[in-house]
């Protein structure tokens, strides 16, 4: 029997195509083989940028003896969680229920019928070999008990989730959420909870929107945004954020860099700048966008998923963080004695190191006192680093994460006068439309211009619709709004739950032992809350009561989550803020080539309150909107009721401020 991963489109699966393990991809063939051989399935789930996934691969899946045991005793199935988030979700729920924790690599033993009966994550090779033998023996000698265990897990978890709540939360619920966040806020270092610390992008978006309405909490957002940008989790040379910090001070990252994190964070930093005008916010938003375009953009115009944590060190061995860390001696070698010493002080590079083997992760705890010298040194170090062996890139294009990137690039391009960023967003839309959109349905992934076979899940439709609406607001291109409407029609028709809200998979998707439906955020906005946000914006753009009602119904779980688990409902809380604000509907009427039209348009885009902006023609929000006395005009509406049109930027800004005051 051969390894069946050689024809995969996932770079993660292709990394395992030469293993001595007889891997199957997820699919009917694997389950049929398990039934034919009467053996369990060993399901291994991971992703390309996962450090411990690589460790387990080197220790076990490349080891002949371990592979022999896997091949003799099991049918082994390898899944890229980024391609199949539905498979990942249901088996991760089982793993967490059975072990009290989860993570990747995820290792699950399941019956040929698909029921999980033993779960875990990373296992060192000796332990893993012992486990393989023990599970196989239990399957032989205690088959009935094993099957009963799997059925018990499925029975306990397969029922519909009790999500609670009805409709959008009341304003006081949002105040409660801020107080709940304050209980876990780290006043000294920013962020929430203890180490490891992940970037709380969705929570920060909520706090900024809440602050724009005059609510409490801006200090938590600003403290966290400042600390993350100045620590080692932010790439001080190349821009962009690592996946998370292993310590509470944001010093040492887990070095993989994900598209979704950076898309979300670029947008949050841009919104921080929009609220405060701070130079740090502007710099980080732009550098993060530039990093996405420079390091993740594919030849086809989309954006790759991630860069690995590991890369080759000077001795040619794979080592976590090798591409990013420095010693004082390396700084001196590149910069000379004086600049090397200055850079060491500026970036916190010490003789003992802040990472492993005496190396340091670059930090920038204070703004440089000599901007010209800093710019020169940074450019020299970035050039020197570019000659190191770079981390591997997972170059599959994921629809949802590209949707997040489209929103960030469009807004940053508009805010900061960077039409090249808007053009990059347009190119990504073109790829998704031409490659991922087939027969009125969305495919989740593509690679090298070839579409994958996995159906889009809720977050793919919702995040892409969100990006399209943001891009429409910037460009006025009506086709983007129409495409968003097509995507959201599929959401309403195929993903809806009759109780209100949505499932994470379509009604005609592959049937697993549970249809996943998780309202809580993870590293990205939950599909349910992402759909609510896109539906709410589309309703404001089109006047569709159907879309607005669906959006508000999907926000039901926000109210119970806000009481004690607000960290996991950030996007739902942010959408609830948008619903409370209206969102504002701002229509700009005037010739596109008139500078006064462009000035009003820019002022509308810079509204600190959640707003949907329409300019040009072709969407209902613009129907009947005309210039006033020959001058371009702005119409500010809320809940389908409009104020008198204004022709001056100052008057538009005052109407927006009045809306914030209620």
Rounded to an integer, the average pLDDT of 435-460 is: 96
Rounded mean pLDDT, 540-558:
95
Q: Any bridge partners for residue 628, and if so which?
A: 631
Predicted local confidence at residue 281, as pLDDT: 98
Three-state DSSP string of 23-78: CEECCHHHHHHHHHHCCCEEEEEECCCCHHHHHHHHHHHCCHHHHHHHHHHCEEEE
Task: Spell out the long-range contacts of 478-484 with Cβ–Cβ below 8 A and sequence spacing 24 or more.
Answer: 478/616, 478/617, 478/618, 478/619, 480/429, 481/538, 481/541, 481/542, 481/618, 481/619, 482/618, 483/429, 483/433, 483/437, 484/534, 484/538
Higher pLDDT, 641 or 159: 641
Question: Mind listing the pLDDT tens digit for each residue in 251-306?
Answer: 999 999 999 999 999 999 999 999 999 999 999 999 999 999 999 999 999 999 99
State the Rg of the chain over Cα. Answer: 25
The answer to whether 434 touches 375, Cβ cutoff 8 Å, is no
Determine the pLDDT at residue 605. Answer: 98
- Per-residue pLDDT tens for 587-618? 999 999 999 999 999 999 999 999 999 999 99
Per-residue model confidence as pLDDT tens digits over 421-437: 999 999 999 999 999 99
To the nearest whole percent, how much of the chain has pLDDT over 70? Answer: 99
Is the pLDDT at 467 greater than 90? The verdict is yes
Query: What phi-psi label fits residue 636: left (phi over 0), alpha (psi between -120 and 50 degrees) or beta?
Result: beta
Please give the pLDDT value at position 152. 84
Instruction: Using the predicted structure, report yes or no on whether residue 27 has a pLDDT greater than 80.
Output: yes
- E strand or H helix at 81: none
Strand partners, 589: 633
**Picking from 209-218, 354-363, 550-559, which range would have the lowest pLDDT averaged per residue?**
209-218
In whole angstroms, give the CA distance from residue 95 to residue 97.
5
Alpha-helical regions (H) of 216-258: 218-230
**Phi–psi pair at 578, nearest 5 degrees:** -65, -40
- Residue 456 and residue 85 in contact, taking contact as beta carbons nearer than 8 Å: no
Cβ-based neighbours of 336, under 8 Å, separated by 6 or more: none
More confident residue, 218 or 236: 236
Q: Which residues contact 34 (CB under 8 A, 6 or more apart)?
A: 40, 41, 74, 75, 112
Alpha helices in 476-590 (DSSP H): 478-490, 527-542, 545-554, 558-564, 570-581
DSSP line for 554-569: HTTTHHHHHHH-GGG-
Confidence of residue 51 (pLDDT cuts 50, 70, 90): confident
Residue 164's pLDDT band, with cuts at 50, 70 and 90, is: low
User: Residue 383: which H helix or E strand, with range?
Assistant: helix 371-385
Q: What is the mean pLDDT of residues 483-499?
A: 96
Give the confidence band of 487 by pLDDT, cuts at 50, 70, 90.
Answer: very high
3-class SS of residue 233: coil
Identify the CA nearest to 582 among candidates 539, 625, 620. Answer: 539
Helix/strand/coil for 411: helix
Tokens 């593509």 locate to 446
pLDDT of residue 1: 60
SS3 content of the chain, % helix, strand, coil (to 5): 50, 15, 35
């Amino acid at each position: 029997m051969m390894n069946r991963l050689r024809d995969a489109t996932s770079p993660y699966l292709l990394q395992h195509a030469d293993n001595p393990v007889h891997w199957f991809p997820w699919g009917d063939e694997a389950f049929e083989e398990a039934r034919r051989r009467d053996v369990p399935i060993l399901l291994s789930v991971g992703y390309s940028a996962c450090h411990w996934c690589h460790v387990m691969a080197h220790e076990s899946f490349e080891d002949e003896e371990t592979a022999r045991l896997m091949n003799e005793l099991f049918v082994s199935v390898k899944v890229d969680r980024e391609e199949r988030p539905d498979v990942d979700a249901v088996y991760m729920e089982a793993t967490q229920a059975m072990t009290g924790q989860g993570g990747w690599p995820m290792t699950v033993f399941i019956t040929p019928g698909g029921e999980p009966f033993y779960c875990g994550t990373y296992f060192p090779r000796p332990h893993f070999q012992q486990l393989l033998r023990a599970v196989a023996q239990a399957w032989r000698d205690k088959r009935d008990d094993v099957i009963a265990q799997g059925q018990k897990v499925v029975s306990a978890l397969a029922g519909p989730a009790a999500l609670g709540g009805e409709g959008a939360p009341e304003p006081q619920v949002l105040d409660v959420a801020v107080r709940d966040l304050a209980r876990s806020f780290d006043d000294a270092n920013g962020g929430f909870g203890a180490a490891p610390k992940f970037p709380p992008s969705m929570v920060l978006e909520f706090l900024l929107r809440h602050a724009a309405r005059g609510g409490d909490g801006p200090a938590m957002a600003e403290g966290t945004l400042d600390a993350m940008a100045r620590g080692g989790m932010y790439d001080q040379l190349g821009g962009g954020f690592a996946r998370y910090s292993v310590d509470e001070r944001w010093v040492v990252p887990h070095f993989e860099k994900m598209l979704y994190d950076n898309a979300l964070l670029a947008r949050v930093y841009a919104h921080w700048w929009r609220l405060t005008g701070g130079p740090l916010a502007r710099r980080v938003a732009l550098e993060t966008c530039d990093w996405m375009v420079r390091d993740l953009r594919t030849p086809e115009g989309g954006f790759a998923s991630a860069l690995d944590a590991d890369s080759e060190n000077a001795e040619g061995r794979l080592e976590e963080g090798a591409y990013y860390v420095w010693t004082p001696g390396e700084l001196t070698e590149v910069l000379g004695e004086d600049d090397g010493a200055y850079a060491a002080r500026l970036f916190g590079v010490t003789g003992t190191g802040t990472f492993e083997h005496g190396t340091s992760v670059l930090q920038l705890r204070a703004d440089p006192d000599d901007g010209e010298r800093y710019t020169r040194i940074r450019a020299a170090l970035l050039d020197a680093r570019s000659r190191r062996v770079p981390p591997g890139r997972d170059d599959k294009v994921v629809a949802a994460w590209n949707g997040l990137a489209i929103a960030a690039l469009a807004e940053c391009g508009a805010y900061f006068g960077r039409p090249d960023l808007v053009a990059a967003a347009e190119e990504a839309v073109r790829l998704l439309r031409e490659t991922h959109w087939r027969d009125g349905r969305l495919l989740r992934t593509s690679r090298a211009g070839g579409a994958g076979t996995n159906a889009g899940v809720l977050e793919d439709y919702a995040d892409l619709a969100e990006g399209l609406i943001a891009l429409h607001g910037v460009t006025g291109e009506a086709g983007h709004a129409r495409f968003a409407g097509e995507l959201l029609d599929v959401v309403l028709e195929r993903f809806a739950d009759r109780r209100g809200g949505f499932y994470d998979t379509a009604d005609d998707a592959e049937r697993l032992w549970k249809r996943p439906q998780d309202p809580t955020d993870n590293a990205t906005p939950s599909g349910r809350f992402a759909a609510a946000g896109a539906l709410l914006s589309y309703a404001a753009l089109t006047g569709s009561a159907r879309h607005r009602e669906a959006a508000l119904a999907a926000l039901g779980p926000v109210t119970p989550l806000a009481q004690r688990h607000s960290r996991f409902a950030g996007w739902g809380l942010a959408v609830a803020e948008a619903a409370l604000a209206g969102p504002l509907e701002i229509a700009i009427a005037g010739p596109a080539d008139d500078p006064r039209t462009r000035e009003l348009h820019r002022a509308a885009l810079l509204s600190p309150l959640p707003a949907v902006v329409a300019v040009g023609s072709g969407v209902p929000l613009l129907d009947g909107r005309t210039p006033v006395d020959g001058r371009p005009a702005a119409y500010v509406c809320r809940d389908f009721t409009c104020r008198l049109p204004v022709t001056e930027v100052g008057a538009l800004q005052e109407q927006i401020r009045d809306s914030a005051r209620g």
